[in-house]
Chain A
Amino acid sequence: MDEITLVRELGAETPLPSPERLSRARTALLSEVAPRRKRRRLTVAGLAAAAVAAVTIPVVVLPAVQTAQTTPSTPATTPATAGTATRVPEMTAVAAFLDQAATVAAGDPETVPRDDQYLYYRTVGRIGTLHETWLSIDGEHDNRSRDQNGNYRISPGCRNNRTTADDGRTVVGCEPVRRYRPDMPTEPAAMAGWIRDYVRAEAGDAQAGDLGRYVGVLAYQFWMRPAQRAALYRAIGLLDGVRLVEGVTDVQGREGVGVAWAGPGDTAERVVWIFDPGTHRLVGTADWLIDRVAVVDTLREKG
C-alpha cells in the first residue's frame, strides 16, 4: 500500500452528505439566485410567465443595441375591424408571432413515441461543438450522451425505483422521468394548468415562486405531439412580460426573431428562444442550435 492509497483511504472515511444535510445550503442558494417575490395567486398568466422563465436554460442577456430594438408587447397591427359587432381580443406582437409558430408546429406529422424508444437531440454550440443526447421515453431505459469532446456516456435509467450512481452504487428511491407525457394538454389555458400541476408535483407548493426553473425542461427535454407544442407556444404568447426581439442571431450568425422575457425584478430581458423569421420554426437559443430532434429506436440511432 503506497502513500496514494493511504490518502485515498483517508478520504474514503468521509461519506457523501445526505440530501437533508444539503437542504439548508440549497435553500440559501435559492434565496440568492431566485429572490423570493411577493406571494401572488397563481394565475394562468402567471404560470405561463413562469413557463417562459423556465426556458431560460441558456440565458443570454442581450447587448444594449439589441435590447433597444425590442418590440414592446403593444397590440399588433391587426386590430379588430372598426364597426364589427363582436370585439376580437387584440394580440400582442409576440402572441401573434407565437400563434403563427404554433400553427406551423401543429402541422407537423403526428408521432406518438413508444415507451422503449428514445428522444434524440443533436445540438450545435456557438463554436461548432456538437452535443448528442438520447433520453429514454419511459425513463426506465438507459440514457446516452455525447459531449463536445466526442466522449459518449451512459446514464442509467430508473427501473423498479432503482438506478446506478456514477460511482457504481445502486440508488434506491428514484422515479423515472418520462420524456413523453400523453396527458399534456393541447389547449393553451389547459397547458398552463398542466404546467402548474407538473411543477407542484415536482417541486411542491413551496417552490411555486420558482416555477421557471422547473418547467424549463418542458421545452427541450420532452417530446411533444404537434398539438401539445402548439399549445405551449400559444400559452406563452399570452403573457405579460414576454417580448419579441428583432435582430438577434443564432449560433451560426443567422438573423432570427427572439422571444424574450423579463421577470419581476429583472433588469434585462433574456432571449429564451430564437425562431426562424421566415418559417416560424424554433431554431434554438443564442447559445446553441437545434440541429436534429427525433424519436429513435436505439441508443445508436440518430434519427
Chain B
Amino acid sequence: MQHSTEPDDVALIRGDFAALFDRHAAHIHRYLARRLGDQQADDLVAETFLVAFRRRGTFRAGQRDARPWLYGIATHLVAQHRRAELRRLRLHRAVPREPDTTCHADRVAADVTAAALRDVLTSALADLGDGDRDVLLLVVQEELTYEQVAAALAIPVGTVRSRLHRARTQLRAALGGSNPLNTAEEGIRHG
C-alpha cells in the first residue's frame, strides 16, 4: 500500500474515480458501518461513490479534499435509512456484550459498567435530532472540522456549532449530567 501525494482529489474526480474510491472508501464504509452496520455499509459505500460519480460535475475545483463531499453524500444516504439506524442504536442497548470470563473480577465489573453506560449512550444518540446526530458523529467519530461538516451538510458553520452544542447537552443530560463513568470507576476502585 502506497500513499501517493498526487494527483489530488480534484484530479481523481475528473479522471480516475477508481483511485478516489481506493483513497476514501474505507473511511466512508466505516462511517456507514458505524451508523447502519456492516451489511448496509457494503451496499451504501458503492452507492455513495456512484452518486458521487454521477454528480462529479458539482464538485468545486477549489476543494482539494473530497472527504466532506463524500461524507455529505453518505449522510444523505443514511437519512434514507433512519429507521435502520435507530433500530441499530436500540439494538446496541438490547444486546449485552459477552462477558470475558478470563478477566479479573474488577475488570468484569468495569466492563459491565461501561456496557451500561454504552446502553445509555446509544439510547441517547437515538433520541437526538437527526441533524444533531449527523453533526455530532461527523465531528467526533469522523474527525471532520466544523467547516468540513458545514460543507458536507450544506449548512452554515454556526449551525454546525449550535447542533453540536445541543447534541452534547442532550447527551450529558442523558448520562446523568455529571461524569457517571468516573463515579462508577471510583466506586469500583475504592469500594
- Please report A residues at the B interface, Cβ cutoff 8 Å: 1-4, 6-8, 10-11, 14-17, 21-22, 24-26, 28-30, 32-34, 56-60, 121, 125-127, 129, 131, 133-135, 139, 143-145, 147-149, 153, 155-156, 158, 163, 165-166, 171, 173-177, 210, 213, 216, 220-221, 287
Contacts and interface: CB of A to CB of B under 8 A. Distances in A.
A57 B4 CA distance: 14
A32 B29 contact: no
A90 B138 CA distance: 59
A167 B46 CA distance: 24
Contacts of A8: 140-141
Interface stretch (B11-19, B72-80, B100-108): B11-19
Contacts, number: 169
Contacts of B58: none
Interface of A, secondary structure class, is mixed
Contacts of A10: 34, 118, 121-122, 125, 141
A21 B29 contact: yes
Contact of B15 (A29, A57, A158, A210): A57
Contact of B6 (A4, A25, A133, A156): A133
Given A147-B64, A213-B16, A7 B46 contact: no
Nearest to A161: B1
Contact of A25 (B3, B15, B45, B125): B45
A135 B5 contact: yes
B126 to A, nearest CB: 12
Contacts of B53: 29, 32-33
Interface string B18-53: 110110011101100110001001110110011001
Nearest to A3: B171
A145 B4 CA distance: 10
A286 to B, nearest CB: 10
27 contacts: A1-B181, A1-B182, A3-B168, A7-B140, A10-B118, A15-B30, A16-B26, A17-B41, A21-B29, A21-B38, A22-B25, A24-B46, A25-B43, A25-B49, A29-B18, A29-B50, A56-B14, A56-B15, A60-B14, A135-B5, A145-B5, A158-B2, A171-B1, A176-B2, A213-B18, A221-B6, A287-B11
B8 A25 contact: no
Contacts of B136: 7
Contacts of B90: none
B10 interface: yes
Contacts of B144: none
Contacts of A155: 3-5
A121 B6 contact: yes
Contacts of A171: 1
B7 A57 contact: yes
B62 interface: yes
Contacts of A144: 5
Contact of A26 (B3, B16, B21, B64): B21
Contacts of B21: 25-26, 29
A143 B122 contact: no
Nearest to B92: A10
B141 A11 contact: yes
Given A10-B118, A135-B6, A174-B1, A287 B16 contact: no
